[in-house]
Amino acid sequence: MAEKKADQFSAAVNCPIRQVLDRFGDKWSILVVELLSHKGRLRFSEIGQHIGDISQKMLTVTLRSLESDGLILREIFPEIPPRVEYELTPLGMSLVPQIESLTNWGKEHLETILHNRKTYELRQKKKITY
Amino acid sequence: MAEKKADQFSAAVNCPIRQVLDRFGDKWSILVVELLSHKGRLRFSEIGQHIGDISQKMLTVTLRSLESDGLILREIFPEIPPRVEYELTPLGMSLVPQIESLTNWGKEHLETILHNRKTYELRQKKKITY
DNA sequence: AGCCTTACTTACTTTTTAGTAACAATCGTG
DNA sequence: CACGATTGTTACTAAAAAGTAAGTAAGGCT
């Protein structure tokens, strides 16, 4: 099935959804954007504390790629101990409404989804045990 | 840094964004929803052909989890060779606008992002080679 | 009898992603 | 002169996601 040529429609191999997902489908990027959109400007350690369970390494990686894409700005203060602050750029801010709209959908429907999953499990068990 | 307690704000450990990402951050789910929203009702092999580079296994896995969540409906026709058709449920359809809005953001800004990445790379090289 | 079709399933391998823990840099402080 | 503070980096490991290829079912066709 692989190797087939995709058509001109949206699921095609190089469509923009896939590029967006490739970039933001990771575990932390969207979370960091969301956080900065609420808090404005934060330093490295503050972001880590707010998220709560991100490792230093992943925080660095995530911030670097967001910076590289131009979604956040990184400002270094030449002090000791070092201080580095991050904030959204206008481009980063332009992503926020989209994230919020996804989040709102989640808030609205996740309960239903969880319920559906349970129902589905039960249906499966019945069929197998039968 | 891990093990910290997250606060009441949006980046907290169990916030809805994370649940949405955990579920739809995979490679194919959103793509299948998008495809079905454009094409209506498709059988297994048609979905595979439209996407172009998904393996049978991943298509099955993706369709199962979408079905389990109640986003798509699966109808089996007891024929030989077998025919199975998939279509969005109302819940699945309710996700479509959110996906489209993300996609549109991508279409609008991906060029800028690609450009930013190149610029960033150059800046890094300069600093290192200097 | 053997091959075709479709929609899977299974076992196994590869690739990607993320986590862990130790170390670096640097200055002020005790 | 070791220690703490902060923002990293690095090497290594673990876990998750995805890919590959073979097999299954069941009846129709030749």
pLDDT digits (tens, 9 = 90+) for A81-119: 999 999 999 999 999 999 999 999 999 999 999 999 999
Q: Is the pLDDT of residue B126 over 70?
A: no
- Interface check for A26 against chain B (CB to CB < 8 A): the answer is yes
Distance CA B84, CA B44 (A): 6
Q: Is the CB of B55 under 7 A from strand D?
A: yes
**Do the Cβ atoms of B4 and A49 come closer than 8 Å?**
yes
From the options 1.25.10.10, 1.10.10.10, 3.40.50.720, 1.10.150.120, give the CATH code of A16-129.
1.10.10.10
Nucleotide with C1' nearest the A64 CA? D8
Among B6, B18, B103, beta carbon nearest to A20: B103
Distance CA A86, CA B71 (A): 37
Between vectors from CA A17 to CA B114 and to CA A13, what angle results, nearest 5°? 90
Nearest to A91 by CA among B119, B4, B93, B19: B119
Q: Is the CB of A16 under 7 A from strand C?
A: no
Which residues touch B66 (CB under 8 Å, ≥6 apart)? B29, B32, B33, B72, B92
Nucleotide with C1' nearest the A48 CA? D7
pLDDT for residue B11: 57
Distance CA B48, CA B2 (A): 40
Q: Which residue has tokens 């956080």? A: A35
State the average pLDDT for chain A. Answer: 88
* CATH number listed for the domain at residues B16-92: 1.10.10.10
Residue B35 tokens, joined: 């495809």
Interatomic distance B25 CA / C16 C1' (Å) = 14
Pairing outcome for strands B41-43 and A83-88: unpaired
Residue A43, classed as helix, strand or coil, is: strand
Q: Is the pLDDT of residue B95 over 90?
A: yes
Distance from CA of A81 to the nearest CA of B (A): 18
pLDDT digits (tens, 9 = 90+) for A54-85: 999 999 999 999 999 999 999 999 998 999 99
Among A13, A26, A109, beta carbon nearest to B91: A109
Residue of chain B minimizing CA distance to A118 = B68
**Do the Cβ atoms of B32 and B63 come closer than 8 Å?**
yes
* pLDDT band at residue A127 under the 50/70/90 scheme: low
**Do the Cβ atoms of A89 and A71 come closer than 8 Å?**
yes
Q: How many CB pairs under 8 A join A and B?
A: 189
Q: Which of B68, B76, B123 is best to mutate for the A interface (most A CBs within 10 A)?
A: B68
**Cβ–Cβ contacts within 10 Å for residue A84, how many?**
14
Residue B107, classed as helix, strand or coil, is: helix
Give me the sign of the Cα torsion angle B18, B23, B27, B30. Answer: negative
Which residues touch A26 (CB under 8 Å, ≥6 apart)? A62, B25
**Average pLDDT estimate for A27-49:** 96
Residue ranges of B 28-67 with Cβ closer than 8 A to chain A: 30-32, 34-35, 38-39, 45, 48-56, 59, 67
Distance CA A35, CA A63 (A): 12
Domain chopping of chain A, boundaries:
16-129
Nearest to B11 by CA among A50, A72, A96: A50
For chain A, the 3-state helix, strand and coil shares in percent, each to the nearest 5, are 60, 10, 25
Which residues touch A53 (CB under 8 Å, ≥6 apart)? B2, B3, B4, B6, B13
**B77, containing H or E segment:** strand B72-77
Question: What residues of chain B lie within 8 A of the CB of A72, using their CB?
Answer: none
